[in-house]
Structure 1
Amino acid sequence: MTVCGCVADLCGGKSLQAWQDAGLVLSTTSNEACKLFDAVLTQYATWTNNENLGGIEGCLSKLKAADPNFTMGHVIANGLELIGTGSSVRLNKELDAAMRTMMTLSKSQPLTEREKLHVAALDMFARGQLPKACDLWEQILQSHPTDLLALKFSQDTYFYLGYHIQMRDSVARVYPFWTPDTPLSSYVKGYYSFGLMETNFFDRAEELAHEALALNQTDAWSVHTIAHINEMKAEVKKGLEFMKETEANWKVKILVASLKNPLLAHEYLWLQIAPRCLSSGSMLDVVDNCSMLYRLHLEGVKLGDRWNNVLKLTKKHTKDHVLLFNDVHVLMSSLGAKDHKATEDELKYSPCADHELSLAPSLGLPLCQAFVEFENGNCDKAVDLLYPIRYQLIQIGGSNAQRDVFSQLLIHAALNSKSQAKQNLARCLLRERDVMRPNSPMTERLIRKAAAVHSVA
């Protein structure tokens, strides 16, 4: 028996016939390839890296060996590179070649309509047309609501786009089809709960997340949802207790995660303030590290050489301009480390049809410039840049909790402004924040600071 066969038997994944029975035909004659495809998809969907199977990387390698011409094998491999790591064909020649190979294969063999749509969606994503890619995945889900790859790729892309309502409703439309006897249905509860949480349906989100955890206590995505709810509601004690109580269930899973599935790993270890980014180099780890350091910086915490350590990783990405969300966090590190050349490079955008770059003039540049003005002591200018776009910043992507650093910057800039009107604005923003997150220690500290500023004035 071949090595591929051993792994396929070990993973117990769906056979060629099983995929057909599920109404999700795969165009290959290799049973091994089908089982390995399932192994990769399962690890991606459940945020695991099964070392017994060789992890996602190992399974992908064996998948290609089992059938080098299996188009959907190329789709999942390229999709994980593009979507899972935030890479770009513009920056990665190997990925560009892999995408070209996939496109050539797709045109040289008969594929189902569903498979053709998968190829087209990934091609759109690679071209920077993220909303159009989501439209194509949604087209798949209308006819094939249990296509987990289409669901997961679209969920992650909606997250990058800041399309939280679409992220929620995409799962809502297919949720009735994920019956308890459907493999991995409990994880779909977790996806749905996250979309509900990001659109402020906290009670329903928490209920679903707990339902998912009752079925599988190691469901890291549902733990993730509950952690976010506790953060958004400023329930600090409850949140810390929950993370501590469930640590044994998610910590091992997260720690063995490969760089192919970092979207959760970075956030859990961020809670532990672990220096993961220095070892992984993953952009998702890097941006959260930058965000943590900048929040501490706003609070007046001395950071020593930490910015210089992070800059060693971010400096090579100052000209990437793949995601605006990444760009502004890279900028934080160059400002923190006082590297003026890296800061200048980060602020240079070229006109492009890419969806993300099309937002640069109206959102990306004003946001980045607000950070620069604040660090240069021009607090009035920072407020003038940031306040008009505060409600549009959801388009930068990320979660509500991640983007909160922009709200904190606006408040600090207004508090430190020389303008009485802007100081008044700071107090208004803090009252607004206190209503949304009552009993938040951070808000209480800033309210006391605002009162001190007022008394001095």
Structure 2
Amino acid sequence: MLHDVCTCAVSLTRPDTLDDWNAMISAFLAHGAETPTHLGKVLEAEPGFAMAHAAKSLFSLMMGRRELVDAARQANADAQGALAAGGATQRERLWCQASDAWVKGSPSAAIARMEEAMALNPADTISMKVSHAIRFILGDNHGMRRSLEAVIGAHGSDHALRGYALGCLAFAQEETGSYDLAERTGIEALEYARDDAWGLHAIAHVYDMTHRPDCGISLIERNTDAWSHCNNFRFHVWWHKALLHLDKGEYAHTLELYDQKIRNEKTDDYRDFSNASSLLMRLELEGVEVGNRWQELAELAETRGTDGCLVFADLHYMLALIGDDRPDAVARLTARVAQDARAETEVGRIMRDPGQSAAEGLAAFGDARYDSAFSHLAAAQPYFQSMGGSHAQRDVFERLTIEAALRAGCLTEARALLSARTRLRGGIGDTFADKRLAFIDTALISGPAVAAQ
């Protein structure tokens, strides 16, 4: 029997198809643009390979797009049909079960099947990556770390994919607050895999969270091999660079990166959209005029606002709608989130907490009803983690909660939120926090008239 680059047995019958399968694995781990091309070649050459259909289904669901749910369902049906023909390995059956579970609304069950595959062979890097990716979508940072720590020992120096495993571990370490360790692990990941965009971005997260913008900018600029080959993940790396320049107060350069790199290709992928909308909102909170840039995003938000696949995406659509002052569209999206929050599904539970309160808070912020905005956002804030994404991505909602508190005159509450945010960052403040704390100190000395401004 043939074995793939993860050292796992596969039911493929042709060495050339195995080459394409291995190329797909490597591209997927590196966030490479050629991932779907390699997967398509495998499906064309050996359509009876059930795991490839399951991979197509799982990858489609990761995109968070309503129209791709149907594609995922079809790929899952193809996987189950191929599975019924027999000949699949246990790992391949687990992948098909994972696909079926997520299509039916249980991403956590899909994670469980991936973990079972990793128990069969801890060196199974692609199962590790899929578990990691779904946990990321669900905001399960501690689960990410436990999962990686359980299998990293099987990815020794002789494992062809060690660098990518280390990159995932570095990100999990960063998301659980082990910043020094994450930096060291991420640097090692790049030594093993020069094209490990995820590992590079894990280190960039460390520098963002620990207020070292110059280190982050230098890291990104001197490691272009790690991310220039990427699919749209390269836009996210540019976004990280923009955040670092924003922290330095270099607003003109931040807008230049927005126009020339982050939003040069105006896709409607929710991840690209979240890069753009969150960056514009951060700029506006610093008093920067962003011109008509909201309009393009708001148009897309109106078309994507019915997706209802991910709370994370919905709340970023809301940023664009309030940014462009579209109250009717804001009301429609708020109502849709409330409707979806009634569903007894995993997505429905996240729509309830934090989705519904967060959506209502953002809508109130857009209307300058800051008392209501702070009330709703503060109710959602303890649950922000469950919307998925990273600390850096969710921070725009932390900033808005703090800003709503300040504009509502709730200075004590704003200070407490700033303190909690700084603790999350290893006790290191940043430019955003320093400016708000200085404002609070001045307002408390000068009295309520300043606090209300």
TM-score normalised to structure 1 length: 0.87
1:168 to 118, 136, 145: 145
Q: Does 1:73 align with 2:52?
A: yes
Query: How do 1:427-446 and structure 2 match up within 5 A?
Result: 427-434=415-422, 436=425, 437-446=427-436
SS state of the match for residue 392, structure 1?
Answer: helix
SS state of the match for residue 391, structure 1?
Answer: helix
Give the aligned residue type for 2:27: Q
**Identity over aligned pairs, percent:** 24
SS state of the match for residue 329, structure 1?
Answer: helix
1:62 to 41, 49, 73: 41
2:2 to 17, 20, 41: 17
CA contact (8 A) 2:58 2:72 kept: no
1:45 to 20, 29, 35: 29
Match of 1:252 in 2: 228
Once residues 275 and 209 of structure 1 are traced to their aligned partners in structure 2, the CA distance between those partners, rounded to angstroms, is 24
Give the aligned residue type for 1:334: L
Aligned residues: 423
**Quick one: structure 1 residues 34 and 405, their matched pair in 2 at CA, closer, same or farther if it must change by over 3 Å?**
same
Once residues 294 and 208 of structure 1 are traced to their aligned partners in structure 2, the CA distance between those partners, rounded to angstroms, is 32
Once residues 27 and 162 of structure 1 are traced to their aligned partners in structure 2, the CA distance between those partners, rounded to angstroms, is 34
Give the superposition deviation at 1:432.
4.1
CA contact (8 A) 1:415 1:453 kept: no
1:296 to 262, 265, 283: 283
Give the superposition deviation at 1:374.
1.5
**Quick one: structure 1 residues 104 and 170, their matched pair in 2 at CA, closer, same or farther if it must change by over 3 Å?**
same
CA contact (8 A) 1:277 1:286 kept: no
Match of 1:281 in 2: 268
1:239-292 Cα offsets, whole Å, 9 max, x none, are 22322333x3335223xx2xxxx4x32321213432437433321101111111
Give the superposition deviation at 1:314.
2.1
2:380 to 361, 378, 389: 389
Match of 1:341 in 2: 328
Long gaps (5+) in structure 1: 1-15, 50-54
1:219-252 Cα offsets, whole Å, 9 max, x none, are 2222111110010011122222322333x33352
Match of 2:121 in 1: 144
Q: Does 1:424 align with 2:393?
A: no
Give the superposition deviation at 1:60.
2.4
CA contact (8 A) 1:278 1:313 kept: no
Q: Does 1:409 align with 2:396?
A: no
Once residues 135 and 277 of structure 1 are traced to their aligned partners in structure 2, the CA distance between those partners, rounded to angstroms, is 38
Give the superposition deviation at 1:88.
4.5
Once residues 431 and 42 of structure 1 are traced to their aligned partners in structure 2, the CA distance between those partners, rounded to angstroms, is 41
Once residues 277 and 105 of structure 1 are traced to their aligned partners in structure 2, the CA distance between those partners, rounded to angstroms, is 41
Give the superposition deviation at 1:387.
1.9
CA contact (8 A) 1:27 1:71 kept: no
CA contact (8 A) 2:325 2:366 kept: no
Long gaps (5+) in structure 2: 242-256, 449-453
Once residues 351 and 177 of structure 2 are traced to their aligned partners in structure 1, the CA distance between those partners, rounded to angstroms, is 28
Match of 2:65 in 1: 87
CA contact (8 A) 2:122 2:154 kept: yes
1:229 to 206, 213, 217: 206
Give the aligned residue type for 1:249: D
Give the superposition deviation at 1:294.
1.2
CA contact (8 A) 1:319 1:345 kept: no
Match of 1:370 in 2: 361
Which 10-residue stretch deviates more, 320-329 or 112-121? Answer: 112-121
Match of 2:293 in 1: 306
CA contact (8 A) 2:374 2:401 kept: yes
2:164 to 179, 187, 195: 187
CA contact (8 A) 2:20 2:39 kept: yes
CA contact (8 A) 2:353 2:383 kept: no
SS state of the match for residue 368, structure 1?
Answer: helix
Give the aligned residue type for 1:173: A
Give the aligned residue type for 2:108: P
CA contact (8 A) 2:2 2:10 kept: no
Once residues 162 and 345 of structure 1 are traced to their aligned partners in structure 2, the CA distance between those partners, rounded to angstroms, is 26
SS state of the match for residue 279, structure 1?
Answer: coil
Once residues 277 and 244 of structure 1 are traced to their aligned partners in structure 2, the CA distance between those partners, rounded to angstroms, is 19
Give the superposition deviation at 1:81.
1.9
TM-score normalised to structure 2 length: 0.88
